[in-house]
Each structure stands twice: as structure tokens, then as C-alpha cells.
Amino acid sequence: MDTKKLGFNTKLVHAGVSKDAYGSAVTPIYQTSTFAFDNAQTGADRFAGRDDGYIYTRIGNPTIRALEKNVAELENGFDGIATASGMGAVSVVYMSVLSQGVHLVSTASVYGPSRGLIEKQFCKFGVEYTYVDTSDVDNVRAALRPNTKLVYLESPSNPAMLVTDIRAVSEVAHQHGALVAVDNTFASPHLQKPLDLGADIVFHSVTKFINGHADVVGGIIVAKDREVYKQLRATMVILGVNMDPHQAYLVSRGLKTLSLRVERAQENAMKVARWLEAHPKVAWVRYVGLESHPQHELVKRQMNGFGSMISFELKGGYEAGRNLMDNVHLATLAVSLGGVESLIEHPASMTHAGMSPADRLEAGITDGLVRYSVGIEDVNDLIADLEQAIGKV
């Protein structure tokens, strides 16, 4: 079935599913490392690219392909590449586009390890970089150099919830001949389609919203055009960071309900954010759905909803943040996000504890900041849990 012209929810359920010999309703787990060739000619044809049958699971596998094709259609891209983790996807993007003497411009408050990979590893091979607040397009313009080959964005960013104008930045980057890659993990393709906004590459930690059930780690990349796709796939295959068929099966299963989960969670998030904003012990709330978010108007233009990630600052600072962690009972005290269950964490003492206080402040991570990934539970229960916990702070 050609699913390309169908609506987003229909694609979620049907795109990428191919008929097999038994008429399976969903793509089964092809748990095999290798695929037999009928004869020597078939083997030669597959290696030469004259026959698109499967060779070896690191290169391609039907269960993994079903997920790749599905997400490629959701993101309106040419094709997808699934990886072992979100960081696997980030590594493939960097490795594919960057080389010695090449310069990267990126969002300062990007996911820590995405920045660490450049500053601790790629710099060893002569890659240059500039991190700026990409929510101001003028900062990106000023940072571009003749050797800039990649503009790497995360929007909304984690946990500062800064939003970058993907269309405006893509125009500026393309005038300089640089590619634009967007980490779309926080939004998911249900809420934001960076390729439609001008980006060349979009990728996700599928560990989050795409899988949505906190039981798989994985990543996926979608390229807008064939040439970039071919380069990314070749890099993934040679790095060996492929997804596993069983992982791909679980992600495909979770993905089918993406819209339902995201819609429900963002409905909860709006109520939780408004409740927090009115609380006397809360200094401020950063949620892209609130009128108080500095880029609320851009979010309405660029995104198809507000999602379910909230950051808020407790008036009592560091100790208050830690205290809250010990008193919530319903939200799980854990890193990660985008699952059906609500997750809460305190970046200053947990995910971002390794940064210096000065770097944390520059990235907008204050001492009392709490990150809350709102799930699909009954919102009254979530608010009651926060109420009793904040009461003890």
C-alpha cells in the first residue's frame, strides 16, 4: 500500500508494514544475523546493489526496515536509519558530516553528551565548534565561518526549553552551504517536522516519545534527500551502531499510539503547568504552552502542540529541588522522558551535576530547577502528588 499521501495517524499504524509469506498483520521479529542467498549470482547482485534483498542484519533487516520506513514517512523524509541508541544516531550524524578542519555550530543547551562527544572526542580529530544560544538566529549568523559544514540544533532544548526558529536558521545555514540537523526528541514527529521547516536531517532518541514505554533504548535518523541518506547509512553500517530486530519490533509497537499518548500527556502537562505557575513556592515555570514562555508565538507557528516537558524553579533553590525528589510518590524519580509514566528529576544534582555551576547557569539550569516529563496518568493524581511533595519542601 502507498501510505505516503495518507494522514499522520494512518501512517503511524500502517506505514512501513510489508506483506510477508504468512500474511502477518504486523512485521514480525526477524531475529537472524544473516540471510541466505539462493545462488552465487544473487549474492553478487545484492552486494553490487542490483538486488535489494537482505544480506546481514548490521546492514539491514526487515523488522528494522519497517520502523525506518514508518518514521521516514512520519517525518516526510526520503528514508530512515535506525540505531542502537539516540547517541548512536548523534554519532552517525557527526561522523557522516564532520571531518578534519570542519566547523560545527550548535545549540549551547543541547543534550550534554551530544556536546561532550564534540568537545571530548571529535575535537581530537581537528573538528572546530561554536556553541551559541540558537534561539536567536543572529547568534547563529555571527558564529558561521567559511568552513562551517553543520548547524546542529535541539529544539525545544533540554531542560532550558529554549526554542529555535528552525526555518530561519535553515535559511541562514543553507546560504553558507552548511547542512542543518535537528534533534527532534523532545517534540516527536507528531508535534514538529523539521524537514518541512527546511532542515536536512532529523533524528531522535526513540527511547523517549517514539517508543514511549520506558522499555527500550534506541535512535533513528531521517534524511531529506537520497545523497545525504546514502552517506548516513554507509556511516551507520561501518560504525556498527545498528538497531537490533527485537528492539525495532518493540519500538514499532509503541510508535503506533504516538499521537494518542502525546495528546493525552500534553493535556495533562498544560494543567500541571498552570497549577505550578500559581503555586507560591514556585519561582517560575518554563512550558512552551504557557503564554509566559518567551517563544510561545514561535512555538505556535512551528509546532503542532506543546508537548509534555516542563521545567520549573523552586524558590528554595538546590536543597528544595533535592527535597522535592524525596517526597514525590507517583512520579518516578528517574532520568529519561517521554514515557506513559510521569518522570521527575533534579538536573543540578543529577543529569547536569558534572557541569560547573557557571556552565550550568549559562545553559539556564538553575539550582532549584526541576524537570518533569508529564505522563498519561489522571492529572488530578499528578497534581495531588506534587501538592503534597511541594508542601513538604
Active site residues: 58, 111, 183, 208
Q: Which amino acid is at 380?
A: N
Pick from 87, 140, 181, 320 the residue near ligand PLP by CB under 6 A: 87
Span near ligand PLP by CB under 6 A; candidates 50-58, 72-80, 81-89, 378-386: 81-89
Pick from 158, 192, 235, 311 the residue near ligand PLP by CB under 6 A: 158
Is residue 111 near ligand PLP by the rule CB under 6 A?
Answer: yes
Cell numbers 503506533 correspond to 256
Is residue 83 near ligand PLP by the rule CB under 6 A?
Answer: no
Smallest gap from residue 161 Cβ to ligand PLP (A): 12
Q: Where are the alpha helices (DSSP H) in the chain?
A: 8-14, 40-48, 62-74, 86-97, 112-116, 137-143, 166-175, 226-239, 245-255, 258-277, 296-302, 317-327, 357-362, 379-391
How far apart, in whole angstroms, are the C-alpha atoms of residue 142 and residue 261?
Answer: 39
Smallest gap from residue 242 Cβ to ligand PLP (A): 14
Residue nearest to ligand PLP according to CB distances in the complex: 86
Is residue 86 near ligand PLP by the rule CB under 6 A?
Answer: yes
**Cβ pair 38, 59 in contact under 8 A:** no
Q: Which amino acid is at 208?
A: K
Smallest gap from residue 180 Cβ to ligand PLP (A): 16
Q: Which is nearer to ligand PLP, 27 or 114 (CB)?
A: 114
**Cβ pair 180, 155 in contact under 8 A:** no
Read off φ and ψ for residue 125, nearest 5 degrees: -105, 20
Pick from 70, 91, 207, 366 the residue near ligand PLP by CB under 6 A: 207
Pick from 134, 170, 185, 311 the residue near ligand PLP by CB under 6 A: 185
Is residue 242 near ligand PLP by the rule CB under 6 A?
Answer: no
Smallest gap from residue 217 Cβ to ligand PLP (A): 5
How far apart, in whole angstroms, are the C-alpha atoms of residue 338 and residue 147?
Answer: 36
Is residue 66 near ligand PLP by the rule CB under 6 A?
Answer: no
Q: Does 159 sit behind a cis peptide bond, omega within 30 degrees of 0 on the bond before it?
A: yes
Is residue 85 near ligand PLP by the rule CB under 6 A?
Answer: yes
Smallest gap from residue 258 Cβ to ligand PLP (A): 16
**Cβ pair 81, 218 in contact under 8 A:** no
Span near ligand PLP by CB under 6 A; candidates 44-52, 73-81, 83-91, 252-260: 83-91
Is residue 164 near ligand PLP by the rule CB under 6 A?
Answer: no
How far apart, in whole angstroms, are the C-alpha atoms of residue 202 and residue 224?
Answer: 8
- For 207-239, letters b (16+ CB in 10 Å) and e give bbbbbbebebbbbbbbbbeeebbeebbebbbeb
Smallest gap from residue 73 Cβ to ligand PLP (A): 22
How far apart, in whole angstroms, are the C-alpha atoms of residue 110 and residue 183?
Answer: 9
Pick from 82, 97, 162, 217 the residue near ligand PLP by CB under 6 A: 217
Binding site for ligand PLP (CB under 6 A): 85-87, 111, 154, 158, 183, 185-186, 205, 207, 217, 219
